[in-house]
Amino acid sequence: MASTRSSGIDYNQREISPYEQSRIIIVTIGNKNYSIPENYIQAHLLPQTRQSKNPRIILGDIDSDIGHSILHFLYKGEYETISYADTQAETQCIEIEYKRSIQVYYAARKFDICGLDTLAQNYIMALSESLSIFQILRGARLIFSKLPEDEEWFHDYLHSKLSSSFAADETTFQLDEFYSDILNDPVFSKAVLKYVIKAFTTETSRLRNALRATNVGSKTEKDSGAPSCEQPATGPLFEPPGSRNRGSGWIPPHKRSRAANKSSTHDIEQPCGEPAIELLPADSEEAT
């Protein structure tokens, strides 16, 4: 337990030292063994050590590659990984660290290592921003079917990534690479296909609503009573039989042309629906 003894001291002071009179516990992760004072181990992990003369904790089904990350968190409450000696391309390094953060998250959830899950979440989200949806799926497949039944965060995270990828390019899920990344794991495959179908349904509904709104807007504009700029027909283009009889209402083409020109003189540059101003001949002013 740490406490501050004086306002003039800006560091913690402990009642007892965790480094003395403390059993050393062996923590086995994969094929690696780590030593840690008992005082640093969260209480719920200790019962199994009291059942044996050789104090040992075995964290089963955890990748040994992230053993250091777990022990470092127990010691210092920080997130840390071991660097690779081999030279890796930038993209490869990011994908490796993404998969590590995935594995760390799984370990934190499985063994209820409080606080480590939150740190892993932050790195999962940050690192995946630089990865393709296929790289994200390859990492997610490592732990998806092994997560506790009450898992919510990781499911929501994966759903969000698939939805964003679909919105950006729906043809992504028509590629063979997509199907190869979800095969051989029925639980994972079912969940991914469910998320993709949900994304497709959401996008389809959005487009349908947008189209419906456009159609309603067009209908409202038509029904608003706005004046029409269409000119009424001036008569048939062709002379019907017997139309040369007096009173038939048919206008010969040469007369129809003059009538149209006269009408356009009145209506030129007038707003639709407003009365035209008659243009008088130039000599009419002099006559006035």
Q: What is the CA radius of gyration of the chain?
A: 39
Q: Where are the domains of the chain?
A: 132-216
Count CB-CB contacts under 10 A for residue 140.
Answer: 25
Sheet holding 24-29, edge to edge: 32-37, 24-29, 56-59
pLDDT for residue 179: 72
pLDDT at 287: 46
What is the rounded distance in angstroms from the CA atom of residue 119 to the CA atom of residue 133? Answer: 22
Tell me the per-residue pLDDT of 87-103, one tens digit each, with 9 for 90 and over. Answer: 567 778 999 999 999 99
User: Is the model more confident about 148 or about 45?
Assistant: 148
Q: What is the pLDDT of residue 143?
A: 96
Decide if pLDDT at 29 tops 60. Answer: yes
User: For position 1, what pLDDT does the model report?
Assistant: 47
Kindly state the average pLDDT of the residues 94-120: 96
Q: Around Cβ 95, how many Cβ atoms within 10 Å?
A: 21
Q: Which secondary-structure segment (H or E) carries 187?
A: helix 186-222
Structure tokens at 79: 């997130």
Q: Over range 34-53, report the average pLDDT.
A: 76
For the chain, give the mean pLDDT.
78
For the entire predicted model, the pTM comes to 0.66
In the chain, at which residue ranges do the beta strands (DSSP E only) sit? 2-3, 13-14, 24-29, 32-37, 56-59
Question: Could you tell me what percent of the chain has a pLDDT over 90?
Answer: 35
Q: Residue 283: pLDDT above 60?
A: no
